[in-house]
Chains A and B, each alone.
Chain A
Amino acid sequence: MSMNKNSSEMDTGRRHFLAAMGGVGMLIGFSGTAYAIRDDKVYIKSSGGALVVDLKKCMGCGTCMTTCSLVHHGKASLSLSCIQIEQDVFKPFPQDIQMSTCLQCHDAPCVTACPVNANKASEDFDFVRDIDPDKCIGCMQCIEACPHTPSRVQWNPTTRCAQKCDLCLNTPYMEEQGGIGGVQACRRVCPVGAIAFITELPEQSLPQNYVVNLRNENWAKSGKTIED
């Protein structure tokens, strides 16, 4: 797997860091290659990719949600989906739909919050932030730590584990290989192509930086706006 060019060594702008309070002892048991130390601060290396969305293209079908839960759990569920599409059908366009994906944050707060390194960024998977259910102790600290609303980490009441978007790395019910360089089920299934995948993450982990315009001239032919 290739090293992500957008890793945190190149990224001097971020000031969230792991273990500011302590020495390298904190890192015992961690995969050292997942971190970069710079100016005495330890950063999680950036994810090799993330999802971006077009809020004006989505039609609110929820297919991405039930497909996400299907490929991971073999069940159709909204609550177990790592992408959350929220709708208020009484609001005017475009405020009627909110699309919430995991931003695969730089120096991800959910990863840093995990006391047992279950929520992690591993070099083997190009630093996708994901949660190992075998290690998760269900403390919910990553759910609280995710700075976005809704929290991009979900609670699975059956396994009593936290879970989050792994870009489809761990998908026993999808034939194709997931993860970076593979298939992301939500992106592939979306009927209107309202979800895309990027390898160059934005400078800052802010939801608005992950909103893009995926509408082209062909979309305009159906009478719908292609303006931002």
Chain B
Amino acid sequence: MKKLKGYAGKILHIDLNNMTHHVLPTEDYYEWGGGHGFGAKLFWDLCEDIEAVIDGRDPRNVITIAGSPFSGTNVPSAGGRCEVTNVSVGLIPRNRFTRSNFGGHFSSMMKHAGWDAITITGKAPYPVYIDVRNHHVMIRDASHLWGKDTHETQQFIQENVAKIDVAAGWNAQLDGNDIGRTTQKASVLAIGPAGENQAALGCLIHGAGNAAGQGGNGAVFGSKNLKAISFIGTGSVDIADPAALVKARFKTREFYAVDVDKSTNFTYNGLSAGPAAITFSQMPTEHRASSCHGCVNGCKQRNAIGYGNEVTCQTSVWYLGAVRSYKFGGDAKLSLHNRSIDLTADSLYAGDLANRLGINTYAIMALIPWMQKLHAKGKLGVGKKIDSNLPYEILGSREFADKFCHAIATGTDIGAHFLDGVVPGVQALGHGADVDNGTLDYPYYGMPEHGYDTRAELEWGYATLMTDRDMNDHALNWIYWTVNLAKLSGIDLPIPAKEMATCFVEKMAPYIKPDEVSAMDYASHNMYSEVLARQVQWVNHYGRFWKNSALMCDFRWPDCVNLQREDLRGATGNDEVGEHVWWNAVTGEDISYVDGIERGRRILNLDNAIWVLEGRHRDDAKFADYIYDKKLTYSKLPTFLWPATNEAGEWDYRDMLGRSHCREGVETWKSHYYRAEGWDPDTGWPTRALLESMNMKEVADRLEQVGKLGKEG
């Protein structure tokens, strides 16, 4: 294969069993793109015994942190994302190969140091951190860092790395005669006490608040005695057609991205959204929007109050309901009706606390109202059935947040029950019914509700069932926020429902024809249709390549509806600034938008083969009972509007509250999906013909060895 631009050319393999490192040529992995594709193939190649690794804390687990050709470039909202892959910790009914993703400046610095990815196997004999300065790789003792929080750890390493001062404000690295210089700090990815204690709720933190956690990544680091990874680089990324890249970026800025000095557009995600802190508590004006490398419109924030930097999105709400409850009474469940400024400081404090201790706030959020209820009923507290010394009477205060987070991170007090995950812990405490009945909303695989209940937002749950985790793909979720926030704010959204649906459908090549608008019809009469299976295929395949592997930001891509454009059509798939335009300008390949999606299909199929080896079967793919047995009555916004037709076929934004799933319907939908993928509908396993058609004979052979190939036809 010809050498491609955009890649650094090297993948760093760290073998912690032997405390050595090796260089793998990136060229061998080109066909997998980058990011998730790299992670999946590296896992396939390096995991000694896939079937035997049933917990992410097994030393045989392989964790990969991967960039892409876009990392470290100015491809819009793609230069700073980073994919993490590993076997999970704490999922049900079993752990599996899974993914997470974080932003900031880690993948960009890794690339500028000359590396496309780092993959780690084995377990170090004592705590270590990895210190990479351009091509110099050091596995260093981290005993002095063990016990420190994620911010202290990063600052310590940054100080240590930055000490070779060669000119005012410029540092050199250990490069002998090649004196590349930088003004930048090292980019560090670290665990806090939660990861050190191998808690399933432990996550990885980079910067003040970029986190990867849904899959127990922090516990995986901890189990390997790995405290942190640091990169500093003074190199560059070679670009195949720099002029085309610059031109497309100018066009994006001028014709697709928001004009912050003029625009009054109302939109949430996508390229035309404004650079604004996505915090659900109201920010004091003294803050800036901050962003990952290369973003067109940052979604994070840094503020003047001295804590809470980069507390964003979910991390800004995990404690919000509790703060409100403590200050004004009522229960601690999240609602965005009232998110006034007097709740902000404490919410940011709690977010910061979780970031420092390295706790996955998604996992703990639902525990808060659950604990509040149990305490009120006298079942939780000192000497109670669930014995705990936490001060539940002041749940919602900073003091409670401190004690609770400390318990979770150290696996003490109430945290002792959740070291292996929330749902296993709740079940062991004899409260499994609370998961079944939705008191705790963990709808799939022991993972928390992301905020978009699948009884309303169908694709979120379906795509999750067909993959490995809460899918966390906001491709279509743009609609939820834009439409419902507009409604809440009294803004008249100028896009009729059918046109909105059409805009999305037009981007769903090759699975949906431009006139199959029913692919975006979320009406109850369309819930289990075959066309919805193909829509979810598009979500999964588009996501696996363009987002998880090429590493275009999930909040900004795809750009299906763009309010800067008169015709409302976004950048996705177009020949001016669409995904493939960037890929081709950076790498020098000549692929189409659909070629990328096809690569995503192949990557998903490698994932599925790994899941099958791990024991996956069609029967695993089901929701918690409450999704079928109870109607959805709650939304954190007052409405859950979505485009849908009525019986007469008329389109409108209709409220999805008030409905549930039915088991037979979901099974019907699954069969549609398996058939669309070419997977055996009885088992969900791939067939040899399918794998061979994607040039994966070796994968088919491996599945055959263990008798897990799907039946043909």
Contact = CB atoms under 8 A, between A and B. Distances in A.
Interface of A: 56-63, 66-67, 69-71, 73-80, 84, 86-94, 96-97, 100, 140, 143-144, 146, 148-151, 154-155, 157, 173-175, 185, 188-189, 191-193, 216, 218-225
B149 to A, nearest CB: 11
Interface string B503-547: 000000000000000000000000000000000000000000000
Interface stretch (B258-266, B490-498, B648-656): B258-266
17 contacts: A63-B249, A74-B242, A75-B237, A76-B72, A78-B234, A79-B180, A79-B182, A79-B236, A90-B208, A90-B309, A92-B303, A146-B168, A157-B178, A175-B246, A216-B261, A219-B261, A223-B277
B179 interface: yes
Given A60-B290, A79-B180, A89-B309, A151 B168 contact: yes
A78 B289 CA distance: 21
Contacts of A140: 167
Contact of B289 (A66, A75, A157, A192): A192
A150 B169 contact: yes
Instruction: Give the interface residue-count category, chain B.
Output: 35 or more
Interface in B549-563: none
Chain A to chain B: the 7 pairs with minimum beta-carbon distance, closest first: A150-B169, A77-B236, A75-B236, A74-B242, A173-B242, A59-B298, A149-B169
B310 interface: yes
B247 A66 contact: no
A160 to B, nearest CB: 9
Contacts of A192: 260, 275, 289
A93 B181 contact: no
Nearest to A79: B234
B489 to A, nearest CB: 12
Interface stretch (B22-30, B280-288, B697-705): B280-288
A93 B261 contact: no
A66 B276 CA distance: 22
B185 interface: yes
B340 interface: no
Nearest to B108: A62
A57 B288 contact: yes
B291 interface: yes
A191 B275 contact: yes
Chain B at the A interface: SS class: loop
A70 B5 CA distance: 14
Contacts of A70: 73-74, 239, 242, 245-246
Given A60-B290, A92-B305, A188-B253, 15 more contacts: A63-B295, A66-B293, A70-B239, A75-B238, A77-B235, A79-B234, A79-B235, A89-B208, A89-B309, A92-B309, A150-B168, A150-B170, A173-B242, A189-B74, A225-B285
B236 A93 contact: no
Contact of A191 (B105, B277, B297): B297
A67 B246 contact: yes
Given A90-B155, A92-B303, A144-B167, A222 B112 contact: no
B443 interface: no
Contacts of A79: 112, 180-182, 234-236
B686 interface: no
A127 B171 CA distance: 30
A223 B285 contact: yes
A175 B243 contact: yes
B250 interface: yes
A119 B306 CA distance: 42
B79 interface: yes
B257 interface: yes
B151 interface: yes
A76 B241 CA distance: 11
Contact of B182 (A78, A88, A144, A218): A78
A58 B284 CA distance: 17
B521 to A, nearest CB: 34
Nearest to A174: B246
Interface in B265-324: 274-277, 282-283, 285-298, 302-306, 309-310
Contacts of A173: 242-243, 246
Contact of A80 (B105, B184, B207, B236): B236
A90 B169 CA distance: 19
B376 to A, nearest CB: 36
B574 interface: no
B180 A222 contact: no
A136 to B, nearest CB: 16
Contacts of B285: 220, 223-225
B184 A148 contact: no
B183 interface: yes
Nearest to B155: A90
Contacts of B304: 92-94
Nearest to B109: A78
Nearest to A55: B288
- Among B154, B262, B274, B289, chain A packs the most CB atoms within 10 A around the CB of B289
A58 to B, nearest CB: 7
A61 to B, nearest CB: 4
Contacts of B253: 188-189, 191
B239 A62 contact: no
Nearest to A154: B181
B513 to A, nearest CB: 35
Interface string B177-194: 011111111000000000
A63 B253 CA distance: 11
A71 B242 contact: yes
A215 B73 CA distance: 27
Contacts of A150: 167-170, 183
A223 B296 CA distance: 18
Given A74-B242, A144-B167, A61 B184 contact: no
Interface in B128-174: 151, 154-155, 167-170
A188 B286 CA distance: 26
Contacts of B286: 93, 225
A228 to B, nearest CB: 12
B261 to A, nearest CB: 6
Nearest to A160: B179
Nearest to A226: B285
A150 B155 CA distance: 20
B294 A143 contact: no
Nearest to A86: B183
A156 to B, nearest CB: 9
A63 B237 contact: no
B183 A62 contact: no
Given A174-B246, A192-B275, A59 B295 contact: yes
A64 B249 CA distance: 11
Nearest to B282: A223
Nearest to A81: B183
B288 A58 contact: yes
Contacts of B250: 188-189
A94 B309 CA distance: 11
Contacts of B309: 89-90, 92-93, 96
A61 B168 contact: no
A161 B183 CA distance: 18
Contacts of A59: 275, 288-291, 295, 298
A148 B131 CA distance: 30
Nearest to A66: B74
A151 B168 CA distance: 5
A224 B287 contact: yes
Contacts of A78: 108, 112, 182, 184, 234
